[in-house]
């Protein structure tokens, strides 16, 4: 594993953010950077857990409607304690990005102006150490840093949480990734400016064993900007049943696919244990993913991330993604 987290917010309503593992709901889900949706926390903050990491790369798109020195826009935390926070600092009429540690000590300040009412893509690398910690901030896919510093005190505990939305002005977030240093290139280091693009079911696949609320098939689970709970769905009571669908294509200009993540929203409708698994069909062969924990009677999101390699063991390509099917299997 190297890509350990991704989020684009395209398939969620503001009230459904918590179902995806965020600590609180968003205020709104406005239009995203290129298409789809973004997240607006309305000046509040919300967090999401990530694996425990001593070295972490994170990228995200941010759009802020106001500059406010002293308020963090993005924070890497360890179980509630700040490791490194991203702030603004005022320099005359200009504002620059600055990084601070838990004690509020400035770790580094950049020279680029903070854009107002424009999308900017930020990438941050943090190495945790009380004596030889490092930080680096890159902007808009650049390989040269706006901030770089080493020999720092970034604490002694690993990062295990990302936090967004401390800024007092309305601030939007989109296209978030988190990468560790395991695995192999190109997904164990800086990814550059990326887009988390959501593909939607657009046709019946080769597996159609599950029933539906109406005619069945992909039309029952092609919810685009928010899932509609019990309005439309597919269902099964037979272990080993699979349901898959074809998907919309990636944007034409896609050159590199770093990772693919499946997303299922599911619940059980009676007593007893029910489990499911995601399914990815590559070249006509279905590959079952990791079996979920026992479903509850309330809807929840279940994701599986396939980093760098598809389930068949080949490197992801845009053509593979465009030709694949995804879906669900009832395990028990």
pLDDT in tens, 217-250: 888 888 888 999 999 999 999 999 999 999 999 9
> What is the model's pLDDT at position 104?
93
Q: Which of 138, 246, 248 is nearest to 194 (CA)?
A: 138
- pLDDT at position 61: 98
The predicted-structure confidence for 37-50, as pLDDT tens digits, reads as follows 999 987 788 999 99
Question: What are the CB-based long-range contacts (under 8 Å, 24+) for 268-275?
Answer: 268/295, 268/296, 268/297, 269/235, 269/297, 273/332, 274/330, 274/332, 275/330, 275/331, 275/332
Side-chain-side CA neighbours of 295 within 13 Å: the count stands at 24
Which residues of the chain, if any, have pLDDT below 70? Answer: 1, 69, 214-215
Give the domains, in start order, of the chain with CATH numbers: 3-179 (2.60.120.200), 201-330 (2.60.120)
Give Cα separations from 318 to 5, 218, 261 (angstroms). Answer: 20, 22, 14
| pLDDT score, position 215 | 65
pLDDT for residue 1: 66
Exposed, middle or buried, 66 (CB in 10 Å: 0-12/13-18/19+)? middle
The per-residue pLDDT for 7 is 97
**Residues constituting the chain:** 332
pLDDT the model gives residue 44: 84
């Amino acid at each position: 594993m190297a890509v350990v987290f991704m989020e684009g917010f395209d398939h969620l309503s503001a009230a459904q953010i918590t179902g995806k593992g965020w600590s609180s709901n968003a205020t709104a889900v406005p239009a995203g950077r290129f298409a789809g949706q973004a997240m607006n926390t309305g000046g509040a903050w919300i967090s999401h857990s990530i694996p425990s990491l001593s070295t972490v790369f994170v990228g995200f798109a941010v759009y802020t409607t106001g500059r406010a020195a002293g308020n963090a826009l993005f924070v890497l935390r360890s179980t509630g304690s700040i490791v490194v926070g991203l702030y603004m600092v005022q320099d005359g009429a200009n504002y620059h990005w600055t990084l601070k540690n838990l004690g509020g000590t400035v770790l580094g300040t950049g020279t680029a102006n903070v854009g107002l009412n424009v999308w900017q893509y930020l990438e941050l690398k943090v190495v945790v150490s009380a004596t030889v910690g490092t930080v680096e901030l890159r902007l808009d896919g650049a390989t040269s840093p706006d901030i770089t510093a080493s020999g720092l005190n970034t604490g002694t505990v690993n990062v295990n949480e990302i936090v967004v939305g401390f800024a007092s002005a309305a601030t939007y977030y989109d296209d978030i990734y988190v990468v560790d240093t395991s695995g192999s290139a190109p997904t164990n280091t800086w990814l550059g400016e990326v887009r988390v693009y959501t593909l939607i079911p657009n046709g019946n696949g080769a597996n159609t064993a599950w029933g539906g609320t109406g005619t069945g098939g992909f039309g029952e689970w092609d919810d685009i900007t928010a899932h509609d709970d019990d309005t439309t769905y597919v269902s099964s009571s037979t272990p080993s049943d699979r349901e898959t669908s074809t998907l919309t294509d990636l944007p034409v200009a896609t050159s590199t696919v770093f990772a693919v993540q499946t997303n299922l929203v599911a619940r059980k409708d009676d007593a007893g244990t029910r489990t499911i698994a995601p399914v990815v069909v590559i070249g006509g062969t279905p590959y079952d993913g990791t079996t979920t924990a026992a479903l509850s009677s309330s809807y929840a999101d279940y994701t599986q991330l396939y980093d760098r390699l598809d389930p068949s063991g080949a490197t992801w390509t845009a053509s593979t993604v465009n030709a694949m099917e995804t879906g669900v299997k009832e395990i028990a």
